[in-house]
Structure formats: C-alpha cells, structure tokens
Chain A
C-alpha cells in the first residue's frame, strides 16, 4: 500500500521568510496530492491540492510542486505570516476511491 513520508517534523522561520515542506510517496499509481492545514485546537482544512497531470500549482502565497519521477511533492509558503503557524499535513491517493494516506505532519512556527 501507499506510504507517505513528510519532512521536517518541525520548522521555524522568521516572518517574511519562505517555508518549504516536503513529502515522498511510495505508490507510483498515486495521482492526487492534497495539503491540509490544522491550526491549534481546530479542524484540518484543505489549502491546496495537485493532480498528477500538472507539475506546479499556485494560490497566492502558497504553491505545490510535484515530481512524479522522483515521487515527491512539496509545499512552498512565501512571505510567511504569524497566521501561517499551524500543523501541515500532506496526503496521497492512488485512485478515485482509495482512501487518502497522510503524512505525520509538520509543525510550522512563524516567528514575528
């Protein structure tokens, strides 16, 4: 089955700097890669996702890149702000009805 590894487990950046979180997956059939953000004490929320037919997707300050050959994908946050502080989870799914497999999460702290 699918296995998703996420790094780093914790990340601290200065406000205004960029943050990058990386995930690798094992199943070459995976074709859907969402990212969820979970603020302290709150529920996870989808922030961006990418499908295997594209290599990059952007939404304002966040972007996701996908390298299918290397089986890894990354979340990039530019111009970080204190409200970006949260735990970020990556996930992968091989097909339309195979459950998502999540990484263990990255705790991002943005220091003002």
Chain B
C-alpha cells in the first residue's frame, strides 16, 4: 500500500517568507508526527497529533512554527517569517495508534533551504 508522502520534496525560500509543508499519512493511521533533521543532527521532535486529543506541541522551537491536521488525515506544517537556521529536512511520520511504542513510518521528507 501507499506509504507516507510529503510535498514538496525540496523548497527554497527567502528569509522572511512563509512556507507550508504537507504530509499525507498512511490511511487509517491515527497518530502523526513532525520532526526536523538538521545536518549531522538527530531527529528533533516538533509536534505530535494523537487522534482526537489535543496535539503535543512541546517540541515546536518558536511561535513561528505551527501545524494542523484536518479531518484526522493530512497535516500541514507552517513556518512563518523563515530564518536561515530553519534550513533542514522536515520529516513526517505516522503510526497506527496513538501509542508512542507503535512503529512509526516516515515520509521521504521536505528539504527546506532558507536563503
């Protein structure tokens, strides 16, 4: 079946502009995660949507970052007034249930470059 997909695969933007990154999780998966992967770094947790419960936003680095998940499926990560330090690969993952110990399936990522 189809895996997690993300778009765009690459995004180049100018400092100060807003960007929207999209994630399509595996159909039927209740949980959805966003991570940021900077060069040479691990996977930094950003936000976690857990079914109908309030999302866990504890990893968002600043109020310029926000995310929503409409209809329990597609999610959009928005970065406002982008800065050069926002340049990274943004990965989305989904899992069947909201239990963190459920296997997470990752998308291919969106590589963001802020000039």
Contacts and interface: CB of A to CB of B under 8 A. Distances in A.
Interface of A: 4, 6, 32, 34, 36, 42-46, 49, 51, 89, 91, 93, 95-105
B98 interface: yes
A51 B101 contact: yes
A4 B106 CA distance: 20
A23 to B, nearest CB: 11
Contact of A102 (B42, B50, B58): B42
Interface string B74-105: 00000000000000000100000011110110
Given A101-B45, A102-B42, A104-B42, A46 B58 contact: no
A51 B104 CA distance: 16
B100 A95 contact: yes
B41 A104 contact: yes
A43 B101 contact: no
9 contacts: A4-B42, A43-B107, A43-B108, A46-B103, A91-B43, A99-B45, A100-B45, A100-B100, A104-B41
A42 B91 CA distance: 11
Nearest to B100: A93
Contacts of A96: 99-101
B48 interface: yes
B61 interface: no
Contacts of A46: 103-104
A102 B42 CA distance: 6
Given A42-B108, A43-B91, A89-B43, A99 B101 contact: no
Contacts of B59: 99
Contacts of A45: 106
Given A42-B108, A45-B106, A100-B43, 11 more contacts: A4-B42, A32-B100, A43-B91, A43-B108, A44-B43, A91-B43, A95-B100, A96-B99, A96-B100, A96-B101, A99-B56
Interface string B20-54: 00000000000001010000111111001010000
A51 to B, nearest CB: 7
